[in-house]
Amino acid sequence: MEGKAHLVNWEVVCGDKVNGGLGIRKLTLMNRALLGKWAWRFAYDKEALWKQVLGAKHGLEDHGWRTKKAVGASGVGVWKEILKEADWCWDKMGFKVGKGNRIKFWTDVWCGDSALYQRFQQLYILAANRNALVEDLWDQNSGEGGWNLRFIRDFNDWEVEMVGELLQALRDFRIVREDDSVFWKGGGRGQFRVKDAYSWLDRPTDVIFPKNKIWMERVPTKISFFAWEATWGKILTLDRLQKRGWQLPNRCFLCACEAESVNHILIHCTVVKVIWDLVLGLVGVKWVFPNTVKEVLFSWGGAFVGKKRKKLWNSIPCFIFWTVWKERNRLAFRGGDLNIQRLKYSFVCNIWGWAKLYMEEGPHSLLDFLDWLASS
């Protein structure tokens, strides 16, 4: 094909016929959809022999919904390939509660479209047992049975409303005698279909990329670009250099305790947490941090603040990433000691400098600015 003009773009050719394409299936995607079907069947099928064999060979995890990672010599082969597809499959699966003895109350998706810990973060923080199973929080003794949620302390007035919302969400669910099971969320009446899985894998990438938390009006391009690279995991942290064959110890430049990776240096590092806490503290929010940069951007939301501050608020993660990375590079290349106060100060100045640009009648001093950010 080299040197010849492509008459029609490959994406278009592969598109659905209704969209003017030829409906040719992309082979790699088709292959992934077919492999995905086995991850689904492993969770869905009940006592199949093949499943028992795999379970015995690799060991089970997550209450038997999947096998452990296939590692070492025994991990060569098809099952290993199948496990690579398990993550997106699980994004498309939900649990149907039966006895509730294999589903985690807070962290599995069984009541609504997302896990309860994501929707009720403040309550999750107060939960007496964050790993409780659904059955643990159900009380069969009271008449028809009912939810018996347990928390580490009594509620303040403003929290009671959230408890009400949680109970409202739980209203249509109850423990029954059947076994817990899974269902497929993407069409096919709860059943996996290769065709649906294929279209899901073939969806435009902007659906799964937090682009509106990265490319924002008036945020300096270098800052957006850095966030974009970080979201793809492409910044040159020590773990990546090691993978490229560099012989060097991996120790985070900021906390000097843990190994450096993109998610560590931008989110989980104890030093960086100071800045995240500073921001969340301003608006009095407690947040359970997701694991990855991408998830942080996805779930960083306007729900924390009012409409007026939403634009600025949305850009905060990018500014944190940028500030932290600059400090990290300073320490990595020029040496010297970490100064947390200076790091905080440089973050606040960055964000204030930007806020001044876009707010027409913005606050005039740094203190006013912080007040403004914190007001609701």
For Zn ion, give the closer residue by CB, 304 or 325. Answer: 325
User: With respect to Zn ion, which residue has the nearer C-beta, 119 or 273?
Assistant: 273
Smallest distance, Zn ion to C-beta of residue 367, A:
30
End-to-end CA distance of the chain: 59
Q: Closest separation between CB of residue 48 and Zn ion, Å?
A: 45
Q: Nearer to Zn ion by C-beta: 263 or 315?
A: 263
| Closest to Zn ion by CB, 82 or 252 | 252
C-beta of 269 vs 320, nearer to Zn ion:
269
* Other beta carbons less than 10 A from residue 154's beta carbon: 8
Using the minimum distance from each CB to Zn ion, give the nearer residue, 231 or 237: 237
Q: Which residues contact 215 (CB under 8 A, 6 or more apart)?
A: 224, 228
Cα→Cα distances 12→7, 54, 110, 120, Å: 11, 40, 37, 42
Q: Is 282:373 a contact under the CB 8 Å cutoff?
A: yes
Write down the least CB distance from residue 263 to Zn ion, Å.
11
**Contact residues: Zn ion, CB under 5 A:** 252, 254-255, 269
Instruction: Report in angstroms how near the CB of residue 349 gets to Zn ion at its nearest.
Output: 22
From 4, 3, 22, 2, select the one nearest 12 (Cα to Cα).
22
Shortest approach of Zn ion to residue 270 CB, angstroms? 6
Task: Choose among 262, 259, 257: nearest CA to 248.
Answer: 259
CB of 354 to Zn ion, least distance (A): 26
Pick the closer one to Zn ion by CB: 126 or 269: 269
Least distance CB 274 / Zn ion (angstroms): 11
C-alpha 139/C-alpha 145 separation (Å) is 5
| Three-state secondary structure string covering 282-329 | HCCCCCCCCCCHHHHHHHCCHHHCCHHHHHHHHHHHHHHHHHHHHHHH
CA-atom Rg of the chain in angstroms: 24
What are the distances in angstroms from CA 315 to CA 77, 215, 304, 357? 44, 9, 13, 13
